[in-house]
Amino acid sequence: MGIDRESPYFRDLFRSMHQNSHTSSWSLMSGKDGEEVVAHYGCNTWGLEQSLGSYISSFLTKMFETEKNKYIVWAYNDVGLILISELPIWVTNRSLYVANPVSQECVEIPSHAHLKEVSCPLGIATRTENGILLDYRVVLFDEDLRLLIYSSHTGLWSLNTVDSYPLALYTQSPISLHGSIHWIASTSHSVDVVVSIDLYATGTSSVQCRVTSFPDFGQHPKFNRSFSTCQGSLMYMNIIKVDEDKLCVWRLNSGEWQLVSEITPPFIDTGFEYIQLGTNPFDAKTVYFWSMKHQTLLSINLHNGKFVFETKLLSSINPGLFFHSVVLPQWLYRIPNTMRIV
């Protein structure tokens, strides 16, 4: 007899066995073309034989065999789901899918009159409880930069106007965490800010918005601003001038930035030929860069300032790209049964 992975007993047993596990499969993905840059797999929790990027690539090939070049993974979610949409980025009457590439589940999002207009996918937010995925919400922007929101719980689309967020989207893909979607935007004064929308807000509004300035506001950092994730939090790092140039790493906690590390890395003195990649998703004091000179991955231990040239890179990197980490969660959540096609 097979094991029902939806059984509360099995779910609780599995989670209790891995509650002290600090590693899981994860990958660093290029946000422009979806290429996998760094892969860590075969870890304690799941022991996968392939990287997450391989599962995603094979899933897309299987799902869209005849039109695979017309589809793209637009967003990744913190419970392991991906949002798939048609290309190009802005298109009318697009098809949308929510999938779990590891369990090979996929659902098609019902169409709506709003989707016949030009729209752009923003992300996917989720609500979970006791290891069960209760609801997911797919979010798009329309031409007027209003939010189009689909709820799997109701099976309906809604149109929402959030007046307090800046209108200009930044180039980095939004990040989904704990039922909220975060992205970088530019204000009318060309100031970078973090915009966060809570899709499961309670109170008078179904969507709550928060705008947060960066911790190096008013300074001139070395890198274009971007963020990554670590243990369920947004992380930001950059090189700024304090008394001297320092590499600083911050964590966003309840709308406020907390300084995690501040060091003077050796490569500052040797010329700046590096591209910022992000933070290790399980260790806030391990960060990654790409060395253009050596064409290799550079990891920095912020505990002692030591850096190591790695050989784990899967593809080359060009300036101007942005990156985000995709982490397999502790539990493979089953997608609510709405128009399931796989």
Let me know if residue 104 belongs to a domain: yes
Token duo for residue 200: 């499961």
Query: Model confidence over 254-273: pLDDT tens digits?
Result: 889 999 999 887 776 666 68
How many structural domains is the chain composed of? Answer: 1
Distance (Å, whole) CA 44 – CA 24: 6
Q: Is residue 7 a part of any domain in this protein? A: no
pTM of the model: 0.85
The confidence score (pLDDT) of residue 10 equals 45
The pLDDT tens digits of the residues spanning 207-241 come to 788 889 999 998 888 888 888 999 889 999 999 88
List, in order, residues 6 or more apart from 328 with CB less than 8 Å away.
24, 25, 26, 45, 46, 48, 52, 80, 102
CA–CA dist 288, 276 (Å, integer): 7
In a domain, 337, yes or no: no
Is 333 a member of any domain? no
- pLDDT given at position 2: 42
Domain for residue 155, yes or no?
Answer: yes
- The radius of gyration of the chain from alpha carbons, rounded to an integer in Å, stands at 20
Q: Which residue has the higher pLDDT, 7 or 150?
A: 150
List the structure tokens of 341. Answer: 């096609």
CATH code, domain with 86: 2.120.10
Residue 51 falls inside a structural domain: yes
In a domain, 278, yes or no: yes
Quick check: is 9 in a domain? Answer: no
Q: Is the pLDDT of residue 74 over 50?
A: yes
Cα separation, 265 vs 32, in Å, equals: 28
Could you tell me the residue range of the domain that residue 294 belongs to?
Answer: 25-327
